[in-house]
Structure 1
Amino acid sequence: MGITLDGLSSGLDTTTLIASLMKVEAIPQTLLKNKVSDTQVMASSLQALNTKIAALADLAKTAAKPAAFDVYAATSSSDKVTAVSTAGASAGQIDFVVDRLSQTQVSVTDALTVWPDSGLTLTAKDGTATTIAVPSNSLDDVVKAINAAPAGVTAMKVASGTDSGGNPQYRLQLTAASPGAAGQFSISGTTAAVTEIKTAQDAQVTLWAGTAAAQAVMSSTNTFPELLPGVAVTLASGSLGPATVTVARDDKQAAKMASDLVTALNGIFSLIAARSAVSTSTDASGKTVTATGPFTGDSTVRGVNQSILSAASMPVNGHSPSEYGVGITRDGNLLFDADKLTAALAKDPTGTKAALAEIASRVSTAAATASDKYSGTVTSQITGQQSAIRDLSDQISSWDLRLASRQAGLQSTYAALEVALGKMKSQQSWLTAQLSGLSSSSTGA
């Protein structure tokens, strides 16, 4: 039942009155909505924190591997020889002479207008022969047939002017699919003249050249993946001649690994500090207002911060991490000193690398304990916050029904009041009229 005209009988602003009453009735729901908003801020902040901690766990896990800080860099005395260190490299130096570069066999036919035979045979280095039949004497058909055959050779047609009759001529270029001597092939079964343009050959270097210990090493490509353990050497055009490859400990790479770890740790500490801060401001009336961050007073976040900080700053075998360049500041952040790490690596490389790996391992464990997607402490708290949001949202929905019912009740009550007042006014008017009639009769008598 609705009210079409406010206060028709009572003169009251019924709509405003009911709206004011509903604001009071809705206070519990408003408090629930505010709580949902606060819980959502907390859940969002925890998710941001968990993402950073999970990234730290992955980084620290990598840094905790035995070879993570055992980094070596390879350099070459020749700008035509590139040396790259990989896992397993160790300090050392080797001299060698580049004797020849790798070549892939290329053969070319004389100029042709059509293929002169019904096919051809390609024979690999190991003696495997592949006979290729072609459906016509079209050079395009020959190219397609060669490329489709498992002969380890690719073909292409190259324009080569015209013959005496003005017909276009082409030469077929045949190229081994595999580089080096292993890709060598021969052509038979055709009357077409074929010229070998490039001979199949492996690249070759000689170690300790000019000595009784001289040793030739060959590769089908210009890259020697294990010329030294953990070192790949690549030859460039014009690299023939002597070269020296030197492998030395790469302190810069080790320092970068440690620096990245410290940066990730500080990112977490900074996030926690920023969202745990208490700030004050002044409102329009001049009153001081205090605001707290979502992490303020949260024991779980505080515990995670402490466990990760302890993992990074506690001694290793009686030695402070600061001896290896990882120090702690007064405000609870970490500080990385590359010079200290370099000095420690120079003095005791084995012990320093082991200590850094131990610190990384502890950090990895602490971070994983917090961020594990199933059982992590921060993950569990996020799940709890999300569950609370769902429960509060259900309560808010229930209040929507309750408030709608209450508003309908108020509207019905005030509508009934207006009707009752209307009737009373009608009765009053009738009584007034009756009394007025009686008075007139008395006066006339």
Structure 2
Amino acid sequence: MAMGIDGLVSGLDTTALIDSLIKAEAGTQALLSKKVSKSQTLVTDLQSLNSALAALTANATGSSTVDKLRGASATSSASSVKVTADASAVPGTLTFRVDRLAQPQISVTAAMTSWTGGPTVTLVSGSGIRTEVAAGASLQELAAGINAAGTGVTATVVAAGTDPGSGDPRYRLQLAGPSGAAGAFSLYAGTSAEVTAGTATDVLAAPGAATVSSAQDAAVTLWAGTGAAQEITSATNVLDDLLPGVDVTLTAVEATPVTLTIARSDTTATNAATALVTGVNNILTTIKTKSAVTASTGAGGATTTSAGSFTGDRTVRDLAAQLSNAVMNPVDGVSPSTIGITISRTGAITLDAAAFAAAMAKDPAATTGALAAISARVEAVGKAASNSVDGTVTQKITGQQSSIKDLQERISDWDDRLATRRARLVSTYAAMETALSGLQSQSSWLASQLGTTNSGSSK
């Protein structure tokens, strides 16, 4: 930093000289900065590795038991019958006839220009439960009261033309109950006591009223036409207890028997094996790539080498070994290669899809058991490394971040130290220039005095 002292007397480029001295003394700070940069790269790479480990651990957890690897497929002989099966479904077939679909009761009142049935109506459910509702002063208020009663019956006011005599607009009240036979209902103009006394008017039996659809359950008949015939009903068109782990959705009546077929599916296990091997191999490849030492030739022909961020890192090296062992160690004395999981001479782990499929076809229980055991081992390694509290990789990241913080503080200290050193050098050189200036002035004075003396002597 120039302070107006360059070459005032000495002719020296003091600014450049000071910069050179500071640069020489800043070598330690430069080394610290390089170390920070290297550590930050390592932290970034470790964080990426930890994220990949967490994802791998989650996948492994999802396939760590045989139950999680089971799968089933379900088909129906009728397009109107939809069927889905989960892993608990047992392979087999079932035949039945679809006799009815579930539906709600939908009824409409007679057309009217206004409500004249009195201040109270009573809804009576199919099981006999009575709910009184304030009718209000209009059909709209009556509908709102029914909807607010919480019985499951909903009311809608629908336009119904005009009155032939007065020309006033007419309306009907459309009532809809919940699906299933238990959703049946009646509507009476009057109180619950009047319903009991038989003096209340059945609104839905009045002239002009109608029931559009009656409440009914869905019904299927198993083994129809045999002595074992059995009817199964449901308030909805979804039968979720017909077979364990199987949901059946009905969309139409089928007089022709419908056959459901439940079969074992290998898709779940195959996908799990593929995801596990791919996840492990990707991590091992990343570790190998970032642990490599590469050589390059510069413009002058000199060869230089550079180490990867994981080169020589014991934590990462141990993790790679543990993952490889988790996948490739025998399961109950049997090599994973028997289910298509192999390792190459370069350390790459692969899954032979054809070999895995053949193993599943030959012995699905043993194959899924081996895959579950391998997944459980990978899960354990992944958790030990990536656990957010005490995982080995997590702790490595925390340690590096702490080291970076310490290095940055030391770099900051060096900023202060170098600034102080520069100020001292500037002061020193300024003093030198001042001293030289004084000497120069004194020399000039002496020279002038000598000149005067010599001049006097010559006279």
Report the TM-score range of the alignment, normalised by the length of the smaller protein: over 0.9
C-alpha contact (below 8 Å) 2:99/2:253 kept by paired residues? no
Q: Is residue 387 of structure 1 aligned with residue 402 of structure 2? A: yes
| Alignment match, 1:54 | 54
Q: Which moved more, 1:368-377 or 1:208-217?
A: 368-377
Q: Which moved more, 1:59-68 or 1:337-346?
A: 337-346
Q: Distance in 2 between matches of 1:159 and 1:419?
A: 108
- Deviation at 1:55? 1.4
Shift of the 79–437 alpha-carbon distance from structure 1 to 2, 3 Å rule, reads same
Quote the offset at 1:162 in angstroms.
Answer: 2.9
Task: Provide the secondary structure at the position in 1 that maps to 2:69.
Answer: coil
CA distance in 2, matches of 1:347, 1:258: 17
Aligned residue type for 1:175: A
**8 A Cα contact 1:81 1:235, kept in partner:** yes
Equivalent pair of 2:70/2:266 in contact (CA under 8 Å): no
Aligned to 1:36: 36
CA distance in 2, matches of 1:215, 1:345: 37
| Secondary structure of residue in 2 paired with 1:8 | coil
User: Deviation of residue 99 (structure 1)?
Assistant: 0.7
Residue 420 (structure 2) aligns with: 405
- Counterpart AA for 2:309: P
Aligned alpha-carbon RMSD (Å):
1.8
Match status 1:259 vs 2:260 = no
State the secondary structure of the residue aligned to 1:196.
Answer: strand
SS of 2:115 mapped into structure 1: coil
Q: Which secondary structure does the structure 2 equivalent of 1:201 belong to?
A: coil
Distance of 2:54 and 2:236 partners within structure 1: 42
Distance 1:240 1:334, change over 3 A: farther
Q: % of aligned pairs identical?
A: 48
Tell me how far 1:405 sits from its aligned partner: 1.0
The reply to whether residue 245 of structure 1 matches residue 272 of structure 2 is no
Give the alignment's TM-score, normalised by structure 1.
0.95
**Paired residues of 1:2 and 1:412 also in contact (CA < 8 A):** no
Give the 3-state SS of the residue equivalent to 1:11 in structure 2: coil
Looking at structure 1, the residues matched to 452 and 105 of structure 2 have their Cα atoms a distance apart, in angstroms, of 133
Amino acid at match of 1:7: G
Query: Contact 1:72/1:249 (CA < 8 Å) preserved in 2?
Result: yes
Q: Deviations over 1:101-160 (max 9, x none)?
A: 1102211223333222323211112211111103322x2222221111122111222233
Q: CA deviation at 1:27?
A: 0.9
Q: Work out the number of aligned pairs and report it.
A: 442
1:35-80 Cα distance to aligned partner (Å, 9 max, x none): 0110111111111111111111111111012312221111111111
Is 1:111–2:111 an aligned residue pair? yes
| TM-score, normalization by structure 2 | 0.92
Query: More deviation in 421-430 or 203-212?
Result: 421-430
Structure 2, gaps ≥5 residues long: 191-200
Shift of the 166–406 alpha-carbon distance from structure 1 to 2, 3 Å rule, reads farther
Match of residue 195 from structure 2? none
Structure 1 residues 148-176: Cα deviation after superposition (integer angstroms, max 9, x where no partner)? 11221112222333333443333222112
Corresponding residue SS for 1:429:
helix
Correspondence 1:120 to 2:121: yes
Which residue in the other structure is 2:169 paired with?
Answer: 168
Match of 2:194?
none
Describe the superposition over 1:264-296 as per-residue Cα deviations: whole angstroms up to 9, x where unpaired: 111211211221122222223232221221011
Look up the match of 1:24.
Answer: 24
State the Cα distance separating 1:239 from its structure 2 match: 4.9
Q: Distance in 2 between matches of 1:331 and 1:175?
A: 70
Which structure 1 residue ranges, 5 or more long, are not aligned?
none
Q: Distance in 2 between matches of 1:13 and 1:337?
A: 73
Contact 2:59-2:276 within 8 A present in 1 as well: yes
- 1:208 equivalent in alignment to 2:209: no
**SS of 2:82 mapped into structure 1:** strand
Alignment partner of 2:430 out of 401, 404, 415:
415
Q: Counterparts of 1:339 and 1:38 in 2: how far apart (Å)?
A: 44
Contact between 2:238 and 2:249, CA under 8 Å: does it hold in 1? Answer: yes
Deviation, structure 1 residue 205? 0.8
Whole-angstrom distance in 2 between the partners of 1:30 and 1:182: 83
Distance between the aligned counterparts of 1:171 and 1:287, measured in 2?
Answer: 96
Provide the C-alpha distance between the structure 2 equivalents of 1:324 and 1:259, rounded to a whole number of angstroms. Answer: 12
**Secondary structure of the structure 2 residue equivalent to 1:319:** coil
- Distance in 1 of aligned mates of 2:93 and 2:355: 27
The answer to whether the aligner puts 1:91 opposite 2:118 as a matched pair is: no
Q: Is the 8 A contact 1:122 1:131 kept in 2?
A: yes
Looking at structure 1, the residues matched to 437 and 312 of structure 2 have their Cα atoms a distance apart, in angstroms, of 60
d(CA) in 1 for partners of 2:431 and 2:59? 72
User: Structure 1: which amino acid aligns with 2:379?
Assistant: S
